[in-house]
Structure 1
Amino acid sequence: MLIIGELINTSRKAIREAVLKKDGQYIQQIAKAQEEAGATYIDVNCGTFMETEVETMEWLVENVLQATSLPLCIDSPNPLALEAGLKKAINGKSMINSITDETPRWNAVLPLVKEYNTKIVALCIDDGGMPKTNEDRIRIADSIITKLTAEGVNLDDIYIDPLIKPISAGEKNGIEVLQAIQHIMESHPGVHTTCGLSNISYALPARKVLNRLFMVQTMARGMDSYIMDPTNKEMRAALLASQTLLGQDRFSRKFIKGFREGLYE
């Protein structure tokens, strides 16, 4: 299970203020907390600083690397910021978030994937926009995987994001994503799927409950990576329990360790 810690993102007020104040100690504290909570990658996103994103990305990466030995997921819509982060991200195999099947984005990001030999998050979007049906979602995923592997990208380095739509906007949005995950994982053995979970609960009450339960449901369909807050006790507890029940936790060691750490009451 690959967990991408999502907390170093300037859309979060505390991170934005830390960047404005050049408070590197706070950035390092957040990076370290995510590592200690079980993250395997640290996401770095400063897309809200559009005019200074390249310089801000360099500063953030430098500070994160002072606090953790984890590899980084460089996250930006700006290819220049992606490359700036990749140049400084020296902890193992980096990840890029993200590529799509849209021609301009594909042409801008693919060379970076190949030059820096990264893992890649691939969103199910093409030149026609976001998928309107589940058939569109599956078609785009199949296309992206076929094209990336043709370019020499290993299946093990590809993380397909099926794009979660709010269940409040359509009662089938959840089950369609589950069906897409199962198709992708069964049709392309060795590939991975990932997502951010919070979209599923948008505009509904008790969002944290829905997010946790949807995570468990996606794991049962084969999803093996999440972009999430690993320091969230309830999410981590649900993740470990689900891994145990799905036979992904040898001798239930992770679950027992979580129990001893106080994750379960």
Structure 2
Amino acid sequence: MLIIGEKINSTRKSIDRAVRDKDVDFLREEVLKQVNAGAGMLDVNCGTLEAREEPDTMKWLVKTVQDIADIPLCIDSPNWEALAAGLSVHRGKAMINSISGETERFKNVLPLVKQYNASVVALCMDDRGIPANKEQSLRVGVKLVSELIEAGVPVDDIYFDPLVRSVATNPETVLETLQLMEDMASKFNGLHFVSGLSNVSFGLPERRHLNRAYVVMSMASGLDAVIVDPLDSTLMALVYATEALLNMDRFCMQYIKQYQQGKLKVL
């Protein structure tokens, strides 16, 4: 499971302040906490800045985070110019967050994916928005992934996000999302699946319980990357346990290693 740390995001007030003030010491603490907790990649987002400021700030943020930790980044912005700026200074293979079936988004982001040989989060939506049901989702997903592959993007570089909705308002959403991943996996051998956790529990109390349960259920249906807070030690322990139970961790070696490092303690 690829753990993508979510916390270097300027929608958090403390990160917004640190980015605007170029507070490297604060960012260093936030970066290292996530890496030490098990993140294999960090999502970086400075989208709260004005559009004209975001590209230069993204360039600074990417360089700063990679100077702190030698780790690949998931460069996250709806602004393709900010994506381009971050990619231009990124060391190693980056991930782009994100592309979709929306005409303008696809046209502007695809050249970046190819130019920088980047992995890419592929959102299951098009010009009509998020599909209303699993049949529409499958059509949108198949079209998007097929077009990426036809354009020369290796399937191993595509991380399909089925865009789970809130179970509070869409009771069927989780079961439909699990089926969508299984259907997409049957059509595209080697396709990856990624999810953020915030949507599934939106509007409900004690959201972390739903988020944790969703990760476990989704891993059984093919989820192999997640954008999450790696400082949630309970969630991380559940990920390691689920990998062992799904035979993704042969002889439980990773699980044992995490135990020996004291990372399976539930707070």
CA offsets, 1:100-145, max 9 Å, x none?
0011100010011111110000101111111111111111111111
Residue 264 of structure 2: aligned partner: 263
Change (3 A) 1:83 1:253: same
CA offsets, 1:237-263, max 9 Å, x none?
111111111111121122122223142
Residue 65 of structure 2: aligned partner: 64
Q: Is the 8 A contact 1:258 1:264 kept in 2?
A: no
CA offsets, 1:21-76, max 9 Å, x none?
22012112222222222212111101111241112111211210111111111110
Deviating 4+ runs (over 4 angstroms): none
Pairwise CA distance, 1:86 = 0.2
Alpha-carbon distance in structure 2 between the residues aligned to 1:242 and 1:40: 18
Residue 129 of structure 1: aligned partner: 129
SS in 1 for 2:43: strand
RMSD: 1.2
Residue 185 of structure 1: aligned partner: 185
Residue 207 of structure 2: aligned partner: 207
Higher deviation after alignment, 182-191 or 73-82: 182-191
Alpha-carbon distance in structure 1 between the residues aligned to 2:37 and 2:161: 23
Alpha-carbon distance in structure 2 between the residues aligned to 1:50 and 1:110: 24
Alpha-carbon distance in structure 2 between the residues aligned to 1:132 and 1:172: 11
Residue 117 of structure 2: aligned partner: 117
Q: Which residues of structure 2 form unaligned runs of 5+?
A: none
Map of 1:39-54 to 2, 5 A cutoff?
Answer: 39-51=39-51, 52-54=53-55
Pairwise CA distance, 1:190 = 0.4
SS in 2 for 1:201: coil
Residue 155 of structure 2: aligned partner: 155
Whichever residue aligns with residue 119 of structure 1, its letter is S
Please report the TM-score for the alignment, with normalisation by the length of structure 2. 0.96
Alpha-carbon distance in structure 2 between the residues aligned to 1:35 and 1:256: 19
Pairwise CA distance, 1:164 = 0.9
SS in 2 for 1:169: coil
Map of 1:89-108 to 2, 5 A cutoff?
Answer: 89-90=90-91, 92-108=92-108
Please report the TM-score for the alignment, with normalisation by the length of structure 1. 0.96
Residue 76 of structure 1: aligned partner: 77
SS in 2 for 1:44: strand
Alpha-carbon distance in structure 2 between the residues aligned to 1:45 and 1:238: 27
SS in 2 for 1:263: coil
Q: Is the 8 A contact 1:28 1:66 kept in 2?
A: no
Alpha-carbon distance in structure 2 between the residues aligned to 1:262 and 1:99: 34
Whichever residue aligns with residue 41 of structure 1, its letter is M
Q: Is the 8 A contact 1:98 1:123 kept in 2?
A: yes
Whichever residue aligns with residue 225 of structure 1, its letter is A
Alpha-carbon distance in structure 2 between the residues aligned to 1:141 and 1:253: 35
Alpha-carbon distance in structure 2 between the residues aligned to 1:237 and 1:11: 27
